[in-house]
């Protein structure tokens, strides 16, 4: 790989990257990879919540061709991730009214980038994404966000349901944007701490996350079935800002 590659390959380099607290999005491990170092990599991943995937050997061969990957590769992160509770504490310490976005099942990096750009421009304090099921935020996402992903805190959490519960425990109202409800986004109260949950356009918000949501609101729509998630987020955020003013 070139010096610009986001990957670290080889058993010892990957282990050293983990032990030196290098920012890592995920680790790929061949299903045939065995040995003490592989076991230690998996153990450390479990201890410090680094997502690793056991993949067919062919996947690594295609990705790294003739390079000596030794059955393991780590995808380094292009951005810094923040602890959700740390961001909540910082917002409350400043005396500001919290505004968070929670993305459930949104995997297209261009959508995430566009959402981050809108969120940064409208005063969102952080975006919450799951550790699993969300695309790694690399150069394409940063470009789509016009750099906003480098300035807006992104909280990547091991469990989205637990994160939503934490938001509620901190006094933050968690609302979902959903097509099948009676209440309009214009009715979202402007004077409350708020976390907006946005689901993927095709499947919406997952059932387990829906169970933790306090209330649902819909975006007015005519002639089409749904908005792209980045457009839906922009419309909702703009309405929230209007309600708060």
pLDDT, tens digit (0-9, with 9 covering 90-100), for 28-76: 999 999 999 999 999 999 998 888 989 998 889 888 877 889 999 998 8
In the prediction, which pLDDT does 1 show? 47
pTM for the predicted model, two decimal places: 0.82
Nearest to 220 by CA among 175, 174, 177: 177
d(CA 240, CA 193): 11
Contact 99, 241 (CB under 8 A): no
> What would you report as the CA-atom Rg of the chain, rounded to the nearest whole angstrom?
20
* Mean pLDDT along residues 208-228: 87
Q: What is the mean pLDDT of residues 141-167?
A: 92
pLDDT digits (tens, 9 = 90+) for 70-108: 999 998 888 889 999 999 999 999 999 999 999 998 988
Mean pLDDT of 145-162: 92
CA–CA separation, 70 and 142 (whole Å): 30
Query: CB neighbours of 60 closer than 8 A, spacing ≥ 6?
Result: 28, 30, 69, 71, 73
Q: What is the pLDDT of residue 5?
A: 65
Residue 215 reports pLDDT greater than 90: yes
Buried b (16+ CB within 10 A) or exposed e, 28-66: bbbeebeeebbeebbebbeeeebbbeebeeeebeeebee
Give the per-residue pLDDT at 2: 42
Contact between residue 82 and residue 16 where contact means Cβ atoms under 8 Å apart: no
Q: Which of 23, 18, 29, 31 is nearest to 6 (CA)?
A: 23
3-state secondary structure of 153: coil
- The pLDDT value recorded for residue 141 is 83
pLDDT band at 136 (very low <50, low <70, confident <90, very high): confident
């Amino acid at each position: 790989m070139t010096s610009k590659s986001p990957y670290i390959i080889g058993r010892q380099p990957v282990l050293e990257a983990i032990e030196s607290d290098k920012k890592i999005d995920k680790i790929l491990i061949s299903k045939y990879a065995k040995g003490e170092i592989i076991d230690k990599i998996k153990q450390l991943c479990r201890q410090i919540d680094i997502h690793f995937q056991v993949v067919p050997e062919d996947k690594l061969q295609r990705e790294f061709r003739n390079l000596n990957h030794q059955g393991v590769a780590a995808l380094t992160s292009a951005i810094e991730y923040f602890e959700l509770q740390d961001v909540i504490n910082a917002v409350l310490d400043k005396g500001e009214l919290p505004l968070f976005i929670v993305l459930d099942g949104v995997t297209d990096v261009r959508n995430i980038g566009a959402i981050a750009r809108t969120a940064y421009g409208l005063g969102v304090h952080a975006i919450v994404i799951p550790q699993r099921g969300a695309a790694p935020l690399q150069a394409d996402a940063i470009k789509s966000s016009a750099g906003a992903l480098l300035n807006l805190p992104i909280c990547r959490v091991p469990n989205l349901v637990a994160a939503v519960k934490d938001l509620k425990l901190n006094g933050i109202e968690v609302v979902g944007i959903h097509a099948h409800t009676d209440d309009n986004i214009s009715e979202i109260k402007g004077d409350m701490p708020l976390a907006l949950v946005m689901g993927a356009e095709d499947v919406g918000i997952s059932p387990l996350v829906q169970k933790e949501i306090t209330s649902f609101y819909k975006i007015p729509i005519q002639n089409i079935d749904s908005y792209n998630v980045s457009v839906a987020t922009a419309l909702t955020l703009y309405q929230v800002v209007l309600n708060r003013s």
